[in-house]
Amino acid sequence: MERNLVGDVVDKIGGKVRLKGWVDTVRDHGKITFVDLRDRTGIIQCVGANLERVSPESVVEVIGMVAARPEKLINPKIKTGSVEIQIESLKIISPAAELPFDMGTDDLNLDLPTLLDYRALTLRHPKQQAIFKVQAVIINAFRQALLKKDFVEFQAPSIISSVPEGGAEVFKVKYFDHEAYLSQSPQLYKSLLVGVFERVFSVNQIFRAEPSVTTRHLTEATSLDAEFGFIDSWKDVLEMEEYVVRHIFSEVGKECKNELALFGATLPTLSDKIPVLKLRQAQEIIFERTGRDIRAEKDLAPEDEREICKWSSEEKGSDLVFISHFVTKKKPFYVYADPEDPTYGFSVDLLGRGVEWSSGGQRLNDYEEIIEHIHDWGLKEKDVELYLQSFKYGVPPLGGFALGAERVTMHMLGLKNIREASLFPRDMERIDTRLSETTQK
Amino acid sequence: MERNLVGDVVDKIGGKVRLKGWVDTVRDHGKITFVDLRDRTGIIQCVGANLERVSPESVVEVIGMVAARPEKLINPKIKTGSVEIQIESLKIISPAAELPFDMGTDDLNLDLPTLLDYRALTLRHPKQQAIFKVQAVIINAFRQALLKKDFVEFQAPSIISSVPEGGAEVFKVKYFDHEAYLSQSPQLYKSLLVGVFERVFSVNQIFRAEPSVTTRHLTEATSLDAEFGFIDSWKDVLEMEEYVVRHIFSEVGKECKNELALFGATLPTLSDKIPVLKLRQAQEIIFERTGRDIRAEKDLAPEDEREICKWSSEEKGSDLVFISHFVTKKKPFYVYADPEDPTYGFSVDLLGRGVEWSSGGQRLNDYEEIIEHIHDWGLKEKDVELYLQSFKYGVPPLGGFALGAERVTMHMLGLKNIREASLFPRDMERIDTRLSETTQK
């Protein structure tokens, strides 16, 4: 007898099924026992008499009849709530040890360190699983959107030989007799590949030796990178990014209804067009709305990001907003300075729900200008040798953007800490297990 | 006037088009100049009189009329060979410096060090581009095959805190005040996630501090990993792998006809079913065919792999062959020993065209047996803490496999060196540029 999946059982009333999965919860009513069985497609209630004692999270096989539940016992909260399995046999495939905490509640009420100390277990909770199903849909939607537009996927390397943009937050690798580093971004690779494929994207791990423990930083994260050539202006970059983000929202909306519902989450609201503000315009608006005069600042502080997102939602009906024209010299060397006022560059952040989701913009493509910027920024040509090689031999006007997969997941679901949006979060104090006994207690 | 793509021009005879791309080659015939223009969709011949001098690889815009070529001048080798563009204007968007070698030949006749020293340039050659278009199709086909079977994609971490399987070929990372490592395989993560999602896959970078320079090893490579639970036997793993490999072949066959043709490559031949041999059976066959008695060896040497692939092609009509039942103690601790003879385990390699493409098999899922193996293998429980946590709380019988993206690409196209199948290959002597002046000259 083949295995049946929980998700396929509802229309098999009166039939016999063979289910395999995990014991989600056990409710022992004396002779009668209720066992909720969980597999990759859902949860179903099974009921039997004189069953062998079985512990939650054990892997079991249940053979039984599918029966309709009486009207008043129907559970509208789960998809299989109109039926139950009358157990004929229950076999333990792999027993679970006693759980360190109750897993059978709608929410896992654990503090973050405990959630992570027991990561292999806590990920099994349906709400934890949901986070990463949404993340997988986000990442796949990113790819599919770009494949439709002729982008070529590439695999970005993680080990790099130099750190042109300064090494404060870079991890060092002992590379045979040399020193190497972990890549903070595939920026230079994706740009140089525009000279090859015109349009490229990658999904890859990036690394930052962030020396502090915050709710929004990880030392290893997943970056969704896109870059393309033959743009007519920096606004083409925004258009492509908006197209990708809308595709992601649409796919999550279609594929993740249940997952969003578990978190009481709704997709960000978008109007016809994501508003675009220059940094200085955004600062003016913040000044007008709050009286805080930040108009001379070179960047937006976290509270500014929250305020401008509030403005965008209230005034423009858009939970997302682009901020452009940051101060050129505060950006990396490849930023394209606005010819009308080179103090500001064609760099663009996408903010959503109060925080930065992505950064991007137009990049320099003229070889001589790139060389000039490298010198102005105090860098060495030798450290960007391969990158320069590309531009020496002709690259069209180009731009691109990078979305943080964990950030997008976090803010789509309303999570409080970015660690919740990473399967195996790494920070200064933790690589799976705690790095020292005294931390995070 | 919008930009036209080269691939869309053939049916626009008599119309005016605006093309943008790279100058692939220039042939100067006095007053008349022929310029082959390359964009992401193909190459087309443009012809004009009294043109400004333009160097190969420069980025240009060509405006002109599409004209049919006279019958005898039709070039059947390219898709646009029946037409040419009569140039009205040619504008240089981004000029290229003089090339260090001729890029306009069907083959780039360069030695490997030069090919890699000029990687940003050499990748532009259509044959080099083709390698990575095929690779992108392989990787996407891997994903799509598994998504259809309910697998969940996950992002495997690269930084790990311990190396349970020994540290000889592992890269060390300075992780704040601690030592960390780069992951050689997502094996433990994918296995523990079977306890969460039942079926998972990942596409991720793996790292090996391979202390020698060979034609088949990279220090950073892309691994295509799959793992799933509720298997009835180790043969379920082979079946799933065969399904995935067939899907990859079918997609490459459909999507990469031109790329395969450039290399004169054909897809590996498959019969109804990929043959499966136990290690000892394979050795017996090799002994019978060659007289070399390797029947007591614990593994297959490269020449054995070539010989058994030859046997499979000749006798079974299959360019791929599975080898199972390797010696248990030669495999990692999680290998499932055959209960009928625990000397051999349910580990399975997939060989293709003379070399290993993948390894996989059934893994232990019983907590007590895993603990026992860990002790037998001389490892510490502490080094696999998170992994053990998963199995402590119930994991079904499971297995999986990993395909090397570069290896599959290499052997599908008949490349001689695995570096050719990596955009930015890393080895002990090179991270993009050479690590020391004296190497690889």
**What is the per-residue DSSP string for B181-207?**
EE-S-SHHHHHHHHHHHSEEEEEEEEE
Average pLDDT over residues B330-355: 96
Question: Tens digit of pLDDT for each residue in B257-282?
Answer: 999 999 999 999 999 999 999 999 99
Question: Tens digit of pLDDT for each residue in B379-424?
Answer: 999 999 999 999 999 999 999 999 999 999 999 999 999 999 999 9
* Closest to B135 in 3D by CA, of B411, B392, B361, B319: B411
Tokens of A116: 């992570």
Question: Tens digit of pLDDT for each residue in B19-34?
Answer: 999 999 999 998 999 9
A276-290, B204-218, B229-243, B348-362, range with the lowest pLDDT: B204-218
Question: Please, which pLDDT band fits residue B200 given cuts at 50, 70 and 90?
Answer: very high
Write the CA distances from B190 to A235, A271, B6, B400, B406, integer angstroms: 41, 40, 43, 9, 21
Q: Cα B366 to the chain's mean position, in Å?
A: 34
Question: Tens digit of pLDDT for each residue in A154-165?
Answer: 999 999 999 876
Please state at what angle helix B187-197 crosses helix A126-147, rounded to 10 degrees: 110
Amino acid B424: pLDDT: 98
Interface check for A45 against chain B (CB to CB < 8 A): the answer is no
Question: Please, which pLDDT band fits residue B440 given cuts at 50, 70 and 90?
Answer: very low
Task: Please state, in angstroms and rounded to a whole number, the distance separating the CA atoms of residues A329 and A309.
Answer: 25
Question: Tens digit of pLDDT for each residue in B64-75?
Answer: 999 999 999 999
Question: Please, which pLDDT band fits residue A412 given cuts at 50, 70 and 90?
Answer: very high
pLDDT at B438 over 70: no
Amino acid A441: pLDDT: 40
pLDDT at B164 over 80: no
Average pLDDT over residues B178-187: 96
Interface check for B76 against chain A (CB to CB < 8 A): the answer is no
Question: Please, which pLDDT band fits residue B77 given cuts at 50, 70 and 90?
Answer: confident
Beta strands B42-49; B83-94: pairing state: parallel
Write the CA distances from A351 to A212, A260, A293, A358, A411, integer angstroms: 23, 21, 21, 7, 11
The residue from B38, B125, B199, B407 that is catalytic is B407
pLDDT at A167 over 70: no
Q: Is residue A27 within 8 Å of A33, Cβ to Cβ?
A: yes
Average pLDDT over residues A94-107: 95
The residue from A124, A217, A246, A353 that is catalytic is A217
Q: Which domains does chain A have, with CATH numbers?
A: 6-94 (2.40.50.140), 119-434 (3.30.930.10)
Task: Please state, in angstroms and rounded to a whole number, the distance separating the CA atoms of residues B40 and A280.
Answer: 38
3-state DSSP assignment of residue B229: strand
pLDDT at B12 over 50: yes
ipTM associated with this complex: 0.96
- What are the E-state strand segments in B30-148? 32-39, 42-49, 59-68, 83-94
Which of B432, B435, B436, B437 to substitute to test the interface with A, most A CBs within 10 Å?
B432
Interface check for A405 against chain B (CB to CB < 8 A): the answer is yes
Amino acid A161: pLDDT: 95
* Closest to B164 in 3D by CA, of B325, B395, B402, B373: B373
Question: Please, which pLDDT band fits residue B49 given cuts at 50, 70 and 90?
Answer: very high
Q: How far is A40 from chain B (nearest CA, A)?
A: 6
The model carries a pTM of 0.97
Q: Cα A9 to the chain's mean position, in Å?
A: 32
Amino acid A440: pLDDT: 44
Question: Please, which pLDDT band fits residue B213 given cuts at 50, 70 and 90?
Answer: confident
Task: Round the CA-based radius of gyration of chain A to a whole number and report it.
Answer: 26
Amino acid A166: pLDDT: 63
The dihedrals phi and psi of B249, each to the nearest 5 degrees, come to: -60, -45
Amino acid A271: pLDDT: 95
Amino acid B44: pLDDT: 97
Tokens of A43: 């949860």
Nearest Cβ partner for A132 among B99, B154, B365: B154
Q: What percent of chain A has pLDDT over 70?
A: 98
Amino acid B441: pLDDT: 40
Question: Tens digit of pLDDT for each residue in A233-278?
Answer: 999 999 999 999 999 999 999 999 999 999 999 999 999 999 999 9
